[in-house]
């Protein structure tokens, strides 16, 4: 520290001491004048002095009662400690300090109060809509109670308020309360109930409040029970019952069952009550109770558990149709009974022929070979725990072993009545038999054999009808349809049927012959003769040729008779015959083969050179064609003279000179002609004549000069004709 600073500090100390010494003796108290303290709290009053080295203190109350506090003096200060504050501390305290001869005094008023807890809100009961309730607000351990104000609010609404002004008899802690009654409504749900207490003291106002949420309740109501599947049950069933109840708070559900003695047997606290495997003893009234804080409500449901009936099933069914000789098993099965007893009998109260086997819940009646005697109504009685059920099975036997047989009185012939007989053999029961005969879609006859049966036996039944078949029936089916109906109307009848396709025979009637290309043809052409015939079955065809002697020569059984290359001899009458068992029909056609003449022979007999007066026969014959026109002519410059010939022969009895010349024969048919000529030489006297030499012609022909040759041929030929020599030209012409 610097020397100068030390000096300054020392000076200040001296100054302070001087000042203190000059101060007057003074006393202070705190808190000043007045204080308020809560009962039970800690309170201290402090007295301090200034201006005195070592003062002495004393504490007292104004009325000189005990201090109820502990004074503690330390130097210039004295503290009075009150721990804890009580009613006894409510005084005016005086603090006295003495310094030498000087004396100072200070007073302080100490007030006490008590307001230790928040108000307590009490309700007379649960808040239930519509039901008045009393609310009480308690303010405990208050002092001074005449300074207390209490207010009760419901939400913002002031229910009541009170100032507790009554004078107190003595100092004590009291509990003050404020009550009000109101009726809650549903609007009150969620509102606050507020109790506010104020304690007014001289210096300040103490406030405490309690807030309570309004809990509004409703008593259980609309309590209902729903039952699934039903209130009526059978043994072994399961039932589920659900109970619902409305209320605030949500009611709890309690299930119970009413006992016979009037008590209730608690069952469950679950809204859903499930009862399984119900027994008849479980029948009764079930009670559901909805319970909450403020109430309870009941609902009841009556359950009826019925005895489960046992059932009896029969198989194959109530109506059994069994073929004679078949194995028949009638079965009876019981459900819902552990050990039933069975009894089989027939409706006529005889024991069945078959064997009965019963085991557990089923029983069978076995009929090995069904026969007429087994045709009965069987009754099976089942007894189970005193209960009895009876079922019936009707067994009918039948026989219907074969398809119907169709028989016809003869072959079907167009237009000829025929009798059809349809037979159904070994039928039982025939009075359920129906036979129907159909031709195509048309019913010819139908019969139900409904007659009474005098005894049980197999019978053969037949149905007969007559009809006239026509060729249109061919291809249609003749059906015999047998139906064996059952005694049980709903069931389908047993059916058998036989079918025959109809073929209706018809005698051949119309024979038609066609000749291709034509009935008149040239030799060498092909010819087809076609024969067709109607009739069913298709008639057999026979082609034959009528011979000159009237006999018939069979040729072919084919419908077409073919001549590859017709010859003249093929001309003639051809007959086609259609034949079947039912008859014969025939037709003929004439075939003409035309031939052009060939091989004409023109001869002069005895010679072509005769003497005057000789007899000459000029004869013309045609080799190939017997019937032809033969024209014999004598050529002359004035014109040809046709000679009267007999069978191609012309006789000159006494040859004259003028008979010499060219004779010509023409053979002619529809398809051609041929010419021949000869020259007759009649010698009587000497004659000079041109003579045509065939050798000369040959020479010409041999030459290449054909055209001039032909010219020459024509020339010579003309000349030759005159002289009756061979003519090549004419021969060629005849072929044209």
Q: Where on the chain is the footprint of ligand NAG (CB under 6 A)? A: 28, 48, 50, 77, 270, 272, 407, 421, 423, 462, 464, 516-517, 526, 528, 560, 562
> Helix, strand, or coil here: 183?
coil
> How far, in Å, CA of 177 to CA of 138, rounded?
4
Smallest distance from the beta carbon of 202 to ligand NAG, in angstroms? 24
Secondary structure of residue 731 in the 3-state scheme: helix
Closest approach of ligand NAG to the CB of residue 253, in Å? 10
Specify the residue, 160 or 594, whose C-beta has the smaller distance to ligand NAG. 594
Q: How far is the CB of 32 from ligand NAG (least distance, A)?
A: 10
Least distance in angstroms from the C-beta of 46 to ligand NAG = 7
> Nearer to ligand NAG by C-beta: 270 or 732?
270
CA-based end-to-end distance of the chain: 189
Q: Residue 147: count other Cβ atoms within 10 Å of its Cβ.
A: 20
- The set of residues, in sequence order, having a beta carbon less than 8 Å from that of 239 and lying 6+ positions away, is 227, 228, 229, 230, 233, 274, 275, 278, 303
Least Å from the CB of residue 517 to ligand NAG = 5
Pairing state of beta strands 616-622 and 600-605? antiparallel
User: Nearest to ligand NAG by Cβ — which residue?
Assistant: 28
Nearer to ligand NAG, 426 or 464 (CB): 464
**CA-to-CA dists, residue 101 to 23, 56, 104, 124, 455, angstroms:** 16, 11, 10, 70, 168
Nearer to ligand NAG, 113 or 255 (CB): 255
Helices and strands (DSSP H and E) totals, the chain: 4, 55
Shortest distance in whole angstroms from residue 418 CB to ligand NAG: 13
Q: How far is the CB of 462 from ligand NAG (least distance, A)?
A: 4
Could you tell me the strand order of the sheet in which 42-50 lies?
26-30, 42-50, 77-83, 70-74
Q: Which is nearer to ligand NAG, 421 or 471 (CB)?
A: 421
Ranges of beta strands (E only) in 278-370 are 284-292, 295-306, 311-315, 319-323, 328-335, 341-346, 355-359, 362-367
Q: What angle do CA 554, 557, 558 make, to 5 degrees?
A: 130
Q: Which is nearer to ligand NAG, 364 or 527 (CB)?
A: 527
Encoding tokens for residue 679?
Answer: 């020259």
CB of residue 221 to ligand NAG, shortest distance in Å: 22
What is the Cα–Cα distance from 325 to 246, expressed in whole angstroms?
75
Q: What is the 3-state secondary structure (H, E, C) of 558-598?
A: CCEEEECCCCHHHCEEEEEEEEECCEEEEEEEEEEEECCCC
- Closer residue to ligand NAG in complex, CB, 458/728: 458
Q: Could you give the count of Cα atoms lying within 13 Å of 47 in the half-sphere of its Cβ?
A: 26
Which residue, 234 or 465, is less far from ligand NAG as judged by CB? 465
φ, ψ dihedrals at 114, nearest 5°: -140, 130
State which residue, 339 or 419, has the beta carbon closest to ligand NAG.
Answer: 419
| CB 320 to ligand NAG: min, Å | 31
Cβ–Cβ under 8 Å, residues 436 and 461: no
Q: How far is the CB of 574 from ligand NAG (least distance, A)?
A: 15
Please state the length of the chain. Answer: 736
Nearer to ligand NAG among residue 381 and residue 560 (C-beta): 560
In the complex, what is the shortest distance from the CB of residue 69 to ligand NAG, in angstroms, rounded to a whole number?
18
Here the tokens at position 58 are: 């004393």
Residue closer to ligand NAG (CB basis): 520 or 560? 560
């Amino acid at each position: 520290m610097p020397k100068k600073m030390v000096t300054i500090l020392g000076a200040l100390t001296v100054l302070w001491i001087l000042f203190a010494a000059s101060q007057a003796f003074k006393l202070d108290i705190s808190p000043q004048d007045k204080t308020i303290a809560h009962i039970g709290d800690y309170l201290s009053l402090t007295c301090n002095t200034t201006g005195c080295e070592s003062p002495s203190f004393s504490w007292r109350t104004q009325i000189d009662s005990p201090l109820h506090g502990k004074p503690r003096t330390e130097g210039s200060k004295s503290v009075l400690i009150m721990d804890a504050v009580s009613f006894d501390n409510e005084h005016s305290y005086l603090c006295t300090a003495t310094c030498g001869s000087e004396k100072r005094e200070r007073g302080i008023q100490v007030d006490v109060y008590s307001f230790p807890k928040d108000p307590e809100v009490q309700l007379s009961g649960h808040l239930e809509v519509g039901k008045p309730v009393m609310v009480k607000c308690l303010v405990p351990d208050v002092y001074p109670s005449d300074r207390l104000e209490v207010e009760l609010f419901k939400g913002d609404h002031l229910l009541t308020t009170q100032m507790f002004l009554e004078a107190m008899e003595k100092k004590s802690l009291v509990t003050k309360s404020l009550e009000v009654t109101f009726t809650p409504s549903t609007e009150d749900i969620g509102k606050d109930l507020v109790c506010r207490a104020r304690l007014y003291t001289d210096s300040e106002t103490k406030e405490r409040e309690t807030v309570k949420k309004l809990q509004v309740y409703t008593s259980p109501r609309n309590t209902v029970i729903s039952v699934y599947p039903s209130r009526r049950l059978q043994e072994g069933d399961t039932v589920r019952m659900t109970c619902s109840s409305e209320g605030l708070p949500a009611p709890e559900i309690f299930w119970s069952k009413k006992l016979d003695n009037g008590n209730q047997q608690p069952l469950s606290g679950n809204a859903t009550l499930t009862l399984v495997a119900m027994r008849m003893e479980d029948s009764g009234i079930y009670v559901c109770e909805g319970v909450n804080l403020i109430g309870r409500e009941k609902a009841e449901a009556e359950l009826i558990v019925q005895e489960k009936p046992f059932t009896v099933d029969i198989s194959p069914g109530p109506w059994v149709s069994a073929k004679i000789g078949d194995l028949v098993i009638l079965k009876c099965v019981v459900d819902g009974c552990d050990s039933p007893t069975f009894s089989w009998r027939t409706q006529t109260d005889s024991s069945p022929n078959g064997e009965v086997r019963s085991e557990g819940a089923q029983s069978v009646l076995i009929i090995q070979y069904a026969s007429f005697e087994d045709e009965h109504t069987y009754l099976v009685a089942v007894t189970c725990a005193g209960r009895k059920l009876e079922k019936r099975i009707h067994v009918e036997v039948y026989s219907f072993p074969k398809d119907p047989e169709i028989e016809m009185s003869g072959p079907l012939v167009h237009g000829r009545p025929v009798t059809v007989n349809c037979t159904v053999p070994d039928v039982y029961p025939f009075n359920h038999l129906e036979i129907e005969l159909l031709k195509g879609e048309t019913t010819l006859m139908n019969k139900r054999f409904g007659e009474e049966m005098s005894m049980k036996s197999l019978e053969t039944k037949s149905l007969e009808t007559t009809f006239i078949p026509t060729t249109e029936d061919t291809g249609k089916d003749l059906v015999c349809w047998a139906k064996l109906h059952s005694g049980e109307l709903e069931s389908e009848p047993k059916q058998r049927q036989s079918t025959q396709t109809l073929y209706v025979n018809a005698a051949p009637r119309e024979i038609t012959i066609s000749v291709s290309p034509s009935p008149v043809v040239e030799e060498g052409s092909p010819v087809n003769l076609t024969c067709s015939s109607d009739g069913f079955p298709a008639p057999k065809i026979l082609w034959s040729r009528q011979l000159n002697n009237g006999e018939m020569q069979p040729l072919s059984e084919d419908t077409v008779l073919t001549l590859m290359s017709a010859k003249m001899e093929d001309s003639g009458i051809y007959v086609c015959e259609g034949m079947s068992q039912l008859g014969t029909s025939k037709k003929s056609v004439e075939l003409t083969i035309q031939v052009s003449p060939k091989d004409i022979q023109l001869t002069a007999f005895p010679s072509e050179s005769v003497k005057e007066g000789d007899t000459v026969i000029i004869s013309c014959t045609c080799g190939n064609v017997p019937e032809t026109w033969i024209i014999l002519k004598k050529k002359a410059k004035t014109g040809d003279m046709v000679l009267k010939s007999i069978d191609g022969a012309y006789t000159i009895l006494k040859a004259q000179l003028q008979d010499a010349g060219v004779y010509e024969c023409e053979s002619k048919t529809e398809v051609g002609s041929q010419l021949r000529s000869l020259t007759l030489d009649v010698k009587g006297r000497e004659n000079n004549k041109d003579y045509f030499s065939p050798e000369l012609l040959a020479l010409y022909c041999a030459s290449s000069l054909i055209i001039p040759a032909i010219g020459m041929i024509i020339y010579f030929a003309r000349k030759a004709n005159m002289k009756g020599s061979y003519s090549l030209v004419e021969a060629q012409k005849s072929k044209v």
